[in-house]
Amino acid sequence: MAGTPQRPSELSASNMCLVLASTEKTQSILPADIFPTQSLLATVLIASGIVSTPAYALSLRSAKLTARDSTLSSPLFPVSPQVEYWTTATDLPDPIPLSDATFNIQNNLDSAADPYVDAPDGELSMQASYPAGSYNVTSTPLGGVSFYALGPASVNLTTAKEVTFSYSIYFPFRFQFAKGGQLPGLVGGESDIVNMGCDWASPIDRQFCFSMRPMWGADGAGVLFAYVPPEGAASLANQSLPCGTPPYSSCNGVYVTKPGSLSLFTFETGSRTTVAQRMRLNDVGAENGELELFVNGESVANLGGIVMRADDGARILGIEMQTFFGGSDSSWASPVDQDAYIADFSVAITEML
């Protein structure tokens, strides 16, 4: 059920941008061919936990970010208050079952079973299986998870100005991260979620959608990957989105930013990592949208001044429940048969439109 909590709890083929955390000796965590054919403007933030000296990444228009209380009581709900929420985490108030019915599955692109099982750590989880050689969501063999989720009808995300989405993920010991892969995230726009996924949208729809999701890179390096519209009324304002300045990032040189600071994180193996995403819509005609990523309750990436929509009809729609290796070609494939386990799915509306 939805409830009131009892405790508080930001590419086109020519405009792709990879912003990499790095030391003085630059390390490329994700290759720039991750999605070479996509025509969306994207900002990609890489935070690598394998570096051992202070790293540089991106801090965008921090003066425009909405002030937040930094006191946390649950890594799954890092922003308060929660106007409406749902959670499958059994240690939080009013949990609901981890089930297909809870997710309210739409447009299931994955014919493979996504069972709910006890993970190696004993927690009931959605099992994502990645067969050796699998990549993307259309390759053979089929791997990962791919569907869209509206969630319980009692928490209608289309009424929200700001939403958080979180979960915990368990990568077993000896999990082979290879070049990288993607994890579930929020999606929105002017199209129905049943017919639109921001990264798979038609060239026309790509003007009217936005999304954010975590990714893992080599050795489990943490990533925030976000799509925003490249065309239409929002495009001019989006020219202010950064691409980075080497050696702190890798990009095509169209966009430039100064390096700032970004906390680093790594998806660990043999233990859970809790990731939470915050998406705040811009006011129509204003450059004040926000994207933020929390890891284990700490903010590691916070972007402001973003235009995600140019029309009031564009809303946060739901969850792009996708995880897979890739990447657009077999060089991204899972090297062995392996699994990951995702649990504690939680969504909160923290501000209404």
**How confident is the model at residue 263, as a pLDDT?**
37
Answer yes or no: is pLDDT of 261 > 60: no
Residue 240 burial class via C-beta count within 10 angstroms: exposed 0-12, middle 13-18, buried 19 and up:
middle
The mean pLDDT of the chain is: 73
Please give the distance of CA 114 from its chain centroid, rounded to a whole number. 20
Task: Give the pLDDT mean for 229-239.
Answer: 49
Answer yes or no: is pLDDT of 333 > 80: yes
For the whole model, what pTM was predicted? 0.79
Please give the distance of CA 230 from its chain centroid, rounded to a whole number. 19
Structure tokens at 56: 């540089």
Task: Give the pLDDT mean for 313-324.
Answer: 93
Q: What domains, with CATH codes, occur in the chain?
A: 17-352 (2.60.120.200)
Task: Give the pLDDT mean for 251-263.
Answer: 29
Q: Which tens digit of pLDDT belongs to each residue from 26-45?
A: 334 454 444 443 333 333 33
Q: Which tens digit of pLDDT belongs to each residue from 16-26?
A: 233 333 223 33
Q: Which tens digit of pLDDT belongs to each residue from 101-143?
A: 999 998 776 655 679 999 999 999 999 999 999 998 888 999 9
Residues 6+ apart with CB under 8 A from 166: 75, 76, 77, 78, 274, 275, 276, 277, 294, 344, 345, 346, 347
Q: Please give the single-letter amino acid code of residue 57.
A: A
**How confident is the model at residue 275, as a pLDDT?**
97
Residues 6+ apart with CB under 8 A from 236: none
**How confident is the model at residue 122, as a pLDDT?**
98
